[in-house]
């Protein structure tokens, strides 16, 4: 999670997947965005944000993240990016999992990629997947998941 104390934060060339399950409350799962941004302005560049339990990126408050480079934002269970914050953010030139771009209820209703909410500028989008010059990451971080 990026918070207002996360000044100058950068997420670059990271893979974020299978995230977004915060735990359980009274036997029911509690889901959050894989990347939560609250009142912060991090830079997210050249990342894969895919196959997460709820949203890929969840923006709240007065956040104004910079989402640039070629990010792959695809196959997240609900939204690729959901912006519940007060600012419109730019997420153009990213791959949304489809050549038709992300699905947006009014701005791109025929898009078959991951959904985006209002206050997300997503056009133009990439019509091909992002390619890394290195075939795979050599360092992996596995975080434990607490189950009840």
Asked whether the bond before 124 is cis by omega within 30 degrees of 0, the reply is yes
Q: Is residue 22 part of a domain?
A: yes
Q: Is residue 107 part of a domain?
A: no
Q: How many Å apart are CA 57 and CA 113, to the nearest integer?
A: 15
Q: Is residue 102 part of a domain?
A: no
Q: Is residue 104 part of a domain?
A: no
Task: Report how far apart, in Å, the C-alpha atoms of 79 and of each of 117, 132, 142 are.
Answer: 7, 24, 23
Residue 29 banded pLDDT, cuts 50, 70, 90: confident
Digit-coded pLDDT (tens) for 95-147: 999 999 999 999 999 999 999 999 999 999 999 998 754 445 555 555 555 44
Rg of the chain over Cα atoms, rounded to whole angstroms, equals: 15
Q: Is residue 45 part of a domain?
A: yes
92 Cβ contact partners less than 8 Å away, ≥ 6 residues apart: 121, 122, 123, 124, 125
Percentage of the chain with pLDDT > 90? 72
Exposed / middle / buried, residue 9 (Cβ in 10 Å: 0-12, 13-18, 19+): middle
Q: Is residue 57 part of a domain?
A: yes
- Give SS3 for 10: strand
Residue 25 banded pLDDT, cuts 50, 70, 90: confident
The total number of structural domains that make up the chain:
1
Q: Is residue 84 part of a domain?
A: yes
Q: Is residue 23 part of a domain?
A: yes
Structural domain of 56: 10-89
């Amino acid at each position: 999670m990026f918070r207002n104390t996360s000044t100058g934060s950068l997420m670059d060339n990271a893979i974020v997947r299978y995230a977004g399950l915060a735990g359980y409350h009274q036997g029911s799962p509690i889901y959050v965005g894989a990347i939560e941004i609250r009142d912060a302005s991090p830079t997210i560049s050249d990342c894969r944000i895919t196959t997460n339990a709820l949203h890929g990126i969840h923006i709240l408050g007065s956040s104004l993240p910079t989402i640039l480079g070629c990010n792959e934002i695809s196959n997240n269970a609900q939204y690729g990016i959901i912006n519940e914050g007060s600012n419109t953010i730019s997420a153009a030139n990213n791959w949304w999992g489809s050549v038709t771009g992300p699905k947006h209820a009014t701005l791109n209703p025929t898009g078959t990629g991951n959904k985006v909410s209002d206050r997300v500028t997503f056009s133009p989008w990439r019509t091909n997947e992002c390619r890394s010059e290195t075939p795979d990451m050599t360092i992996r971080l596995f975080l434990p998941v607490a189950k009840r």
